[in-house]
Amino acid sequence: MQQKLRIAIQKSGRLYEESVKLLKDCGVDVKNGINKLKTEAENFPLEIYFLRDDDIPQYVEDAVADIGIVGENVVYEKNKKVQIVEELGFGKCRLSVAVGRKEEYSGIAYLQGKRIATTYPVLVKKFLDEKGVQAEIHEISGSVEIAPGIGLADAIVDLVSSGSTLFMNGLKEVEPVLKSQAVLIRNEQLDAGKLKILDRLLFRIRAVKKAKNNKYVLLNAPNDKLQDIIALLPGMKSPTVLPLAEEGWSSVHSVLSENQFWDIIEQLKEAGAQGILVIPIEKMII
């Protein structure tokens, strides 16, 4: 019987859709029926478990699952014996301190002696200890943002993405505690066979990630400006240059990272490039 790697992902919540999409982008055929807690990929040696995100680090530590996709905040809060093997680039958020909008927050000393409501007591205690602040931590399981309004706490520490939930509850973000994103974790005792399957999966994940962070660029360049334009295009090794039917012109093909994209496109226009075409990349293997 072929050995399979067991992966745990959120059964619902903010990471579920992106986790399933990542696996599908990696060519893994994932089928999840309604209320189904386990499925198998037909075209890759992978079993998928759909679990509560808070439970995933424990399942991976106990080797019920071999690997899992979960937020960094959960990994550090649960503090289980698991290894982070890859940052996945989605589910980005931050764990932050928030106080009432009308409060005058003067710095971390504001929290001295205050009552703080949170779902992340381990991370909050570690943060306060590092800052030398003594405060009363109230652990609550949900709707943390309403705690100041009902008199349960003076401040909260909760996950923030856009900040709209804080705003609607009369709060403002004042102090970051932790930046978080989805990560791939693994059991520390995987055997050689499962490590080999994990390497295959990581190869695919990294190809998908690299494609998302880069764009394929085609442009037309006058030959007398060709070297100036090529100098602006790092590419994977060097740009591809092909002659056009019109004499004195060439077609230049290259790859640009998302971070450099707009600055370099503007420079290319100034250098004389024309007909610039930008195409998303589905997979990128180097």
Q: Model confidence over 14-63: pLDDT tens digits? A: 899 999 999 999 999 887 756 678 999 989 999 999 999 999 999 999 99
Please name the fold of domain 5-89+182-211: D-Maltodextrin-Binding Protein; domain 2 (3.40.190)
Q: Which two tokens stand for residue 43?
A: 């075209």
- Name the pLDDT band for 249 (thresholds 50, 70, 90): very high
Is the distance from CB of 181 to CB of 87 less than 8 angstroms?
A: yes
Q: Which two tokens stand for residue 164?
A: 């709209």
Which CATH number does 214-280 carry? 3.30.70.120
**21 secondary structure, DSSP code:** H
d(CA 224, CA 212): 33
Q: What is the rounded average pLDDT of the residues 217-245? A: 87
- Name the pLDDT band for 1 (thresholds 50, 70, 90): low
Tell me how far the alpha carbon of residue 178 is from its chain's centroid.
14
What residue segments make up the domains of the chain, in order of their start? 5-89+182-211, 93-180, 214-280
Would the CATH topology of 5-89+182-211 be identical to that of 214-280?
no
d(CA 4, CA 200): 12
Q: Residue 230 above 80 pLDDT?
A: yes
Of all residues in the chain, the percent with pLDDT exceeding 90 is 76
pLDDT (0 to 100) of residue 41: 92
Tell me how far the alpha carbon of residue 69 is from its chain's centroid.
10
pLDDT (0 to 100) of residue 33: 58
Among the four given CATH numbers 3.40.190.10, 1.10.357.10, 3.30.450.20, 3.40.50.720, the one describing domain 93-180 = 3.40.190.10
Dihedral angle, C-alpha 136, 141, 142, 147, nearest 10 °: -20
Angle between helix 192-212 and helix 16-25 axes, rounded to 10 deg: 100
Report the mean per-residue pLDDT for the chain.
Answer: 92
